Amino acid sequence: MTTVPASTAVTNGPTAVPREHPPLNVDSVVKRFGASTAVAGVSLEIPQGASFGLLGPNGAGKSTLIRSIVGRVRPDSGSIRIFGHAVGSAAARAELGWVPQELALYPLLSCRENLQAFGRYQGLGGKTLEDAIAWCLDWAALADRSKTPVKTLSGGMKRRLNMAAGLIHRPRLILLDEPTVGVDPQSRNRIFEMVEALRDDGATIIYTTHYMEEAERLCDTIAIIDHGHIIAMGSKEALVAKTFGTSSSVLMHVGPATTDLAAWAAARGGTATDNSVLVSVEKPTEIAALLEAAALDRLEILDVTLQRPNLESVFLHLTGKELRA
Partner 1 sequence: MIGTIVQTSFRSLRRDRGAFLMSFILPIGFFTIFGFVFGSMRTSGTPRVAVLVVDQDRTDASRALVRGLEREPSLDAVTRPKATKENPAPADYSEASAQDAVRNGDAPAALVIPAGFGANPISFAPGGSRPTFRILHDSSDPVAAQVVAGMLQKVVMTSLPSMMAEAGSREFSSWVGGLTPQQRRQMDTGLGQLRKYEQEQDAQPAATPKSTTDSAADLSGMVSVDIQDVVGGKKRNPMISYYAAGVGVMFLLFTASAAGGSLLDESDSGALDRVLSARVSMTTLLAGKLAWCTLLAISQLILMFLWAALVFHLDLFTHIPGFLIMTVCTAFAVASFGMLLASVTRTRGQLAAFSTLIILTMSALGGSMFPKFLMSNAMLLVGRFTFNSWAISGYTKVFWRDESIRALGPEIAVLLTSAVVLFLLARWFARKWEYA
Tell which positions 54-113 bind partner 1, by CB under 8 A. 64, 67, 70-74, 90, 93-94, 96, 98, 100-107
| Shortest CB 313 distance to partner 1, Å | 33
Q: Which is nearer to partner 1, 25 or 162 (CB)?
A: 162
* Per CB under 8 A, 166 contacts partner 1: yes
**Number of residues engaging partner 1 in binding (CB under 8 A):** 28
Q: Which is nearer to partner 1, 174 or 239 (CB)?
A: 174
Choose the binding region for partner 1 from 15-23, 114-122, 139-147, 254-262 (rule: CB under 8 A): 114-122
Q: Which is nearer to partner 1, 71 or 253 (CB)?
A: 71
| Shortest CB 49 distance to partner 1, Å | 23
Q: Which is nearer to partner 1, 86 or 325 (CB)?
A: 86
Choose the binding region for partner 1 from 121-129, 191-199, 253-261, 298-306 (rule: CB under 8 A): 121-129
Q: Which is nearer to partner 1, 59 or 257 (CB)?
A: 59
SS (H, E, C) the chain: CEECCCCCCCCCCCCCCCCCCCCEEEEEEEEEECCEEEEEEEEEEECCCCEEEEECCCCCCHHHHHHHHHCCCCCCEEEEEECCEECCCHHHHHHEEEECCCCCCCCCCEHHHHHHHHHHHCCCCHHHHHHHHHHHHHHCCCHHHCCCEHHHCCHHHHHHHHHHHHHCCCCCEEEEECCCCCCCHHHHHHHHHHHHHHHHCCCEEEEECCCHHHHHHHCCEEEEEECCEEEEEECHHHHHHHHHCCCEEEEEEECCCCCCHHHHHHCCCCEEECCEEEEEECCCCHHHHHHHHHHHCCCCEEEEEEECCCHHHHHHHHHCCCCCC
* Per CB under 8 A, 118 contacts partner 1: yes
* Per CB under 8 A, 122 contacts partner 1: yes
Residues in contact with partner 1 by CB under 8 A are 33, 64, 67, 70-74, 90, 93-94, 96, 98, 100-107, 118, 121-123, 165-166, 169
